[in-house]
Amino acid sequence: MNRFIEFQAQVEAIKARCANGEITEAERDNILRQTQLKDETWGDIWLLSPKEQWFRKANGSTIWVRDYPIALVEPTTLPPISEMDARQIARAVYDCTRCSLCAERKRAVPGEGPVPTDIMLIGEGPGSHEDQQARPFVGASGKLLEELLGNIGYKRHDVFIANVIKCRPPGNRDPLPDELAACKDYLDRQIELIAPKVIVTLGRFSMARYFPGASISKIHGQPKRIGDRLMVPMFHPAAALRNPNWRPFLIEDFKRLPDLIKEAASFHQETITDAAQLNLF
């Protein structure tokens, strides 16, 4: 039997003891916090909250993150990517063999964050820490990203973070065209589901999706409207760490995000009004 299903049953039994009045809610929460499952393949630790939310502490990390065990997504029933939900995408990405990067990756990195949400950040691809933990931006660039989000009152779990490629290229080399193409359907579907008001591209590979041929030093921080959404190109945090002269640009560009979200929300409102006038609602 799947260990995660067994674990779910164990949690249900603890919750039932509380519902029957055998233990208080505080006792239940305490027991649930200590009831943890170790994933024997990766060494990650999992727990399930009273509100039925799964959390994962990746091997090598000290942080609990909202996640969902792919062992609970039935791989045999996956629909086409264009019809997948966020969990099914994660499952498909973990098992993906669409390009040769699957041969050398430890773990694929589908991306993480709430679905839907206002801001989506799209970076380049996993590095060694990400490959180890199956989480995006957990190394030095991730620390800077958290600081930049903190400056505007956001936490990293408020935004969705993904990459243009889901598996680490050997030696952190640039992604190749066929690798970008292999991941494109996953990212397109994620964007559809997340429905962000603002997409921030971090670095040149994600910038190229919306600003082909542009130079980041010329266009960083300048939003472009596509449909109801604003695309904002920014320097990659790793570039700002390598070249401290770029850091102030990144800080200033991030500070504009709250206003850009409001601006994009007004586009959405315009569309609803237009649709209402056409009796579409």
Helix (H/G/I), strand (E/B), else coil: 259:
helix
Chosen residue from 4, 46, 94, 137 binding ligand URA by CB under 6 A: 137
Q: Is the CB of 122 or the CB of 260 nearer to ligand URA? A: 122
Question: What span, in angstroms and rounded, lies between the C-alpha atoms of 85 and 111?
Answer: 13
Q: Is 141 near ligand URA (CB under 6 A)? A: yes
* Binders in 230-249 for ligand URA, by CB under 6 A: 238
Instruction: Quickly list DSSP for 185-208.
Output: HHHHHHHHHH--SEEEEESHHHHH
Least separation in angstroms between CB 112 and ligand URA:
10
Q: Is the CB of 124 or the CB of 179 nearer to ligand URA? A: 124
Chosen residue from 69, 125, 169, 233 binding ligand URA by CB under 6 A: 125
Single out the segment in contact with ligand URA by CB under 6 A; choices: 9-17, 118-126, 151-159, 183-191: 118-126
Q: Is the CB of 109 or the CB of 264 nearer to ligand URA? A: 109
DSSP secondary structure letter of residue 96: -
Q: Is the CB of 121 or the CB of 264 nearer to ligand URA? A: 121
Q: Is 130 near ligand URA (CB under 6 A)? A: yes
Binding mask 157-176 for ligand URA (x = CB under 6 A): ------x-------------
Sign for the pseudo-dihedral over CA of 93, 95, 97, 98: negative
Question: What span, in angstroms and rounded, lies between the C-alpha atoms of 76 and 1?
Answer: 17
CA distances from 256 to 20, 151, 190, 207 (A): 51, 11, 24, 18
Is the omega angle on the peptide bond into residue 79 within 30 degrees of 0, that is, cis? Answer: no
Site residues, ligand URA (CB under 6 A): 123-127, 130, 136-137, 141, 163, 238
